[in-house]
A and B are shown apart, each in its own frame.
Chain A
């Protein structure tokens, strides 16, 4: 049934229907609506689950890791500095091969303090062994959260389902919420292969010498390499039931496109209308939305941009000294493909600044008419800052 709800509640509704058993979190704006709804569900019996409000994000993920080790389905949610504080445990969750699902609300890091949308928080965690999905709207948040449990429990890796602060987390949109029976068909109860069990005592997290540590890391990489095909299976089953499918990337009008704009998150929604406006004026833009960031869907990206003359990557994030993070990944995916289109990097919308249709159209023209830049990236719509001593 279609209901009007925030992106935050699209996440919490999916968690309710996924019959998660243990949830832990620490309050941080703009993630709080997700866990407030879940706290209510846990206490009024809507969910048969335990909610732990602990004393920090570090403790929240620790609690979820140990609950997952006991073989139950788990969830946490955070944002920005909360995610940064979890960093040590992010590695632990993937290293222990635990299928934890997290809702991450993209928010800028301080200083200066800023609570608005910026992807640098989650992209800074790209090497922690978590699968990452970036969502465009409330429906995608809901669907992807359900996908996440299936996928995580299949490949034994944790999954982050990411949405933009406020543009998505606090924006009301219609979201189709299926009933419990339908979701149960898609997502059976969690049965963990490796868990602490009094019948089969074991010891976890022990000293791992060089003779075996490397293989354990290789196994994580092997699991990551399976994600793409497993995700395609998960989506196939999901779409048979719910008639919605996304793919790790979504190419829009890329077949004959001269300039392809590569986007993620809510900017994709804006970009769709820009593409159709420009097409109606006889231009040939395309859009490539990247949904799955880890593992990076390099094959899909190569296929989508192969025929384009130019590629423009719009990043609402920055790796200082290297440029936009999606841009780095796109460049690296194309490097061994000969020939490949030149890649233009644009930094836009940091700290919640609007990326408007005009911003994207200007990027299109700049890319179409311009030569490859000397630097790694162009900063979009920044003001001249007067330096005072």
Chain B
């Protein structure tokens, strides 16, 4: 099916700023769906609040635009209700790791079959550039006009420690890798976390004098390296890209079915 058939054209042009990386993530996501050959009726997309969450308006699947931080809690309800569907949750810094941080770790702990795409632009774009739990020390934001003293989460380490059975990271510069990773994440049975470093030239770029969207994407090229590469050993400051965790673990809905089976024995 052509990519265009997966979108709701009536909602375009989208509201993201020019240069925003979120459109690249949307493109990669749609190509992944196309490669998997999923029908529109098999996919439910659940989002919370923020720039990333607007994706649910643009895709022609079953979509829910829910409360800030609660996307994974809503998604868990959808999955438990109709476990045969593919549940995808696009999320930003706030949804995944600030107001929704608790849901994030507990969804990982349960290993329920949901794919979370964490679009990390290191700032709250929609509300006007306040710092987020992914901004990091020393960063400037509208709520940190001099510099931020809060340290950031490492999404990959956090998801891994919390029990996610598929964990990966890439950037909007590495579009082919992104499509490939999203494809694998959706195929994976269990909670999958895909962190995508995505540029916000309007707030993060401007506040921190990084330059244009192109400059920001060049940094993704220069400051990242494939997981386990020689370059990483020589320069530990490089951020690794790739799949960090991919393991078979009992999936929550399947385990729940086992309880039902056991409870129904003898009836």
Which residues in A have some Cβ–Cβ distance to B below 8 Å? 26-29, 32, 35-36, 39-40, 43-44, 51, 53, 55-57, 81, 85, 110-111, 113
Contact = CB atoms under 8 A, between A and B. Distances in A.
Contacts of B127: 27-29, 32
Contacts of A26: 98-99
B124 A27 contact: yes
Contacts of B130: 27, 32, 36, 53
Contact of A36 (B65, B68, B101, B128): B128
Interface residues of B, number: 22
Contact of B68 (A40, A51, A81): A81
A55 B101 contact: yes
B90 to A, nearest CB: 16
B169 to A, nearest CB: 22
B166 interface: no
Interface in B23-56: 49
Given A39-B145, A53-B143, A29 B99 contact: no
Contacts of B49: 113
A36 B143 contact: yes
Interface string B132-174: 0100000000111110001000000000000000000000000
B204 interface: no
Given A28-B127, A36-B128, A55-B133, A81 B67 contact: yes
Contact of A44 (B69, B142, B146): B146
Given A27-B130, A28-B127, A32-B127, A55 B98 contact: yes
B133 A39 contact: no
Contacts of A111: 65
B142 A36 contact: yes
A248 B87 CA distance: 52
B134 to A, nearest CB: 12
Contact of A40 (B98, B126, B128, B145): B145
Contacts of A53: 130-131, 143-144, 150
Contacts of A81: 67-68
Interface in B72-105: 97-99, 101
A214 B109 CA distance: 42
A53 B127 CA distance: 13
20 contacts: A27-B130, A28-B127, A32-B128, A35-B143, A36-B128, A39-B142, A39-B144, A43-B145, A43-B146, A53-B130, A55-B97, A55-B98, A55-B99, A56-B69, A56-B98, A56-B99, A57-B99, A81-B67, A85-B99, A113-B49
3 closest A-B pairs (Cβ-Cβ)? A27-B127, A56-B99, A55-B98
A115 to B, nearest CB: 10
Nearest to A55: B98
B143 A39 contact: yes
Contacts of A27: 124, 127-128, 130, 143
Contacts of B124: 27
A165 to B, nearest CB: 13
A5 to B, nearest CB: 17
Nearest to A30: B127
A66 B99 CA distance: 20
Contacts of A36: 128, 130, 142-143
Which of B68, B124, B128, B146 is the most central at the interface, judged by chain A CB atoms within 10 Å of its CB?
Answer: B68
A45 B97 CA distance: 30
A51 B150 CA distance: 12
Contacts of A51: 143
A51 B144 CA distance: 10
A160 to B, nearest CB: 21
Given A32-B127, A32-B128, A110 B145 contact: no
Nearest to A35: B143
B250 to A, nearest CB: 30
Nearest to A29: B127
Contacts of A40: 145
Contacts of B69: 56
A85 B70 CA distance: 12
Nearest to A38: B143
Nearest to B69: A56
Contacts of A32: 127-128, 130, 142
A83 to B, nearest CB: 13
Which of A28, A39, A55, A110 is the most central at the interface, judged by chain B CB atoms within 10 Å of its CB?
Answer: A55
A27 B99 CA distance: 11
A128 to B, nearest CB: 20
Nearest to B101: A55
A31 to B, nearest CB: 9
A56 B97 CA distance: 10
Which of B67, B101, B142, B146 is the most central at the interface, judged by chain A CB atoms within 10 Å of its CB?
Answer: B142
Nearest to B53: A113
Contacts of A35: 143
B67 to A, nearest CB: 6
Contact of A29 (B97, B98, B126): B126
Given A32-B130, A40-B145, A56-B69, 11 more contacts: A27-B127, A29-B126, A29-B127, A29-B128, A39-B144, A44-B146, A53-B130, A53-B144, A55-B98, A56-B99, A113-B65
Which of B67, B142, B143 is the most central at the interface, judged by chain A CB atoms within 10 Å of its CB?
Answer: B143
Interface string B7-37: 0000000000000000000000000000000
A26 B68 CA distance: 12
